[in-house]
Chain A
Amino acid sequence: MGEPQLCDISVSGRQGIRFPHPDVPTYPLPQEFVREDLPLPELSELDVIRHYTRLSQLNYSIDTGYYPLGSCTMKYNPKINEETARYPGFAFSHPLQPVETMQGNLALMFALQEMLKEVGGFAGLTLQPAAGAHGELTGVLIIRAYHRSRGDIKRDKILIPDSAHGTNPATSAMTGLRVVEIKSDLRGNVDLESLKQECDETLAGLMLTNPNTLGLFDEHVEEVIHMVHAAGGLVYGDGANLNALLGIIRPGDVGFDVMHFNLHKTFSTPHGGGGPGSGPVGVAAHLMDFLPSPVVGIIEKGDEEMPPLYGFITPSKSIGRMKSFHGHFGMIVRAYTYISMHGGQGLRAIAEHAVLNANYLLSLIKGTYHLPYDRLCMHEFVVEGQWADAPDIHALDIAKRLMDYKFHPPTNYFPLIVHEALMIEPTESESKETLDAFADALIKIAVEAHHEPGLLKDAPHVTSVGRLDEVKAAKELVLCCGVSVHEK
């Protein structure tokens, strides 16, 4: 059986760490406020270390294997990042300290702002957003504030292609804007005719992921942006797929007005089993005044003898604060470390090899798996996880069978516009040998699907647990140790 739960191994009287006795007089506790019971587990330090070490061993991770999740950019996370972010001068700095004591942090944040602006082709940038979706919310609020500042209050419509991540429509809905979906054309681009019909005086903007979630660079990107601008709208860039573009093209140059970066995808900060991320937002010159407060700026220019004095600045028409404090500083240090180790040429090499790896893998499997859009791809691609002559096999079965070959499956059932989608993003970190082995597994599974479909249907076989009863989980709702949530 699996690892016991903490509440099962708790023994009354154990404690994993002790603290010094008070070196001050003790004061009467406010008895009317003192709680009677605190039902937390009681464990020794070794209990805790063994428990979580064993749990960690039930995980698949980049450090243990190939993780080709589409749109997630599961590249190697360098170990030096983990060292630099923990330097005491960084890790022990309080967010509300006087800026005079924090010039190291502020100089680093300023430098990263400059680096990201240069990579994306933007005039202004905030490091505050905590994640990609939080960056989207920041960006869409900026678009909304821009129109309103011009008295253009009828613009309440956001266009979102049908291939977009779910966060795009969810974000727009949070800001009170109306979401209208735009179709993709037969080559996976934004359908220009559908777009044209929606380009009217109510258009606030378009949220565009480019390359899109099919892994395709929109062949009409200039025309799309031009149409939106001509109608008075702004173009939001979802930077989820920026890994394909580093040093290849700067989104700001083509006319994207605002874009979020994902430091946890493109710039190697670890995904941590779901977070933390970091979602800085870059903007064109006409949107700089709307950035959330605060941004890092120079408040006193330096000279040969004195470095400049950095501080926090609130832009004049700022949308306000997106969270407490200044952003995920620990992630900012990691991304700064990573970009500094690459330089301009190094970043371009990342994109080139990410795209080479994707096209190489695609070439190896495209005779075996159906490819809905047969073009050169960017950093990822989508194939169909089903065959006409094996209709009982689904993308899910292929995904689960890959686990038996010791690979993490690709993203599946996304994007929604591809039937039984398997979305594969190799990243630049992976070697030819790894890609060859992965392609071999996919090809073997295709053969199994036709001759021994049971192997797929019952998969996975070698993992610590098999397929789960998700209906039971949702019905019984056991969300805490030993407690079932029975709803009214």
Chain B
Amino acid sequence: MLAARYRVEVRDRDGKLVTVIEGDSKSFTMNFIKLLIASHYNQNDVPTFSVYNVIGDVFYTGNIQTPYVGVPWQIFFIDYPSFYISFSPVPAIWLGTSSCANPALANGPCGSPVACCFGSSFPFSPYNLSPGVPCYGVTSCSPSLTEEGWAITITNQWLNTSHSPVTVGSMALVSGVVAISSATAGEVSGEVFEPYAIIVDNLPSPVTVWPGFLITVSYTIYFPV
């Protein structure tokens, strides 16, 4: 069904393009496939799969083990305010410092997460992510029909706001689903937002992003026509 391409661009402080990498994405993740399969069922017979969020915490499809997502809802969700409403993560493409041993089985980008969130503990800050921009600048607002089929391009820009160079070895397309954290006697008592990786890829060679440099990362997913 799905083929995806990734593109990585690094620009220096003057906006000059210093690195471009483009390639076929290798790995829709097992976590995504489990959520996708569970989304075919109804509430009465949805299978129980264990799924891991980007930091490796488990949640479940179905309604038996908590935290659970029931029949997964909006598995392609990249809505910026909903990501940011209670904590600092932002959609949609996160970066890690090292390669993943097996991207298809990874929960997110590997090594230390360096681009994922707002906060001074991360060297990259989101750039051009704005509530005032159509679809927050994360993606186009509607599909486009290309020679390769219907295309969805999702993009993030991250600015190295630290004083040190940062090495990027892997990237992940991150969506999120809502899970119920606890329920007793039919009463739901909590909801948690679970960011999870749809796709994880290793870069063919690590990319160094110097202080003040901007890295633009994008995935384009194609649905054949």
Q: Do A and B bind each other?
A: no
Q: Which residues of A contact B (CB under 8 A)?
A: none
Q: Which residues of B contact A (CB under 8 A)?
A: none
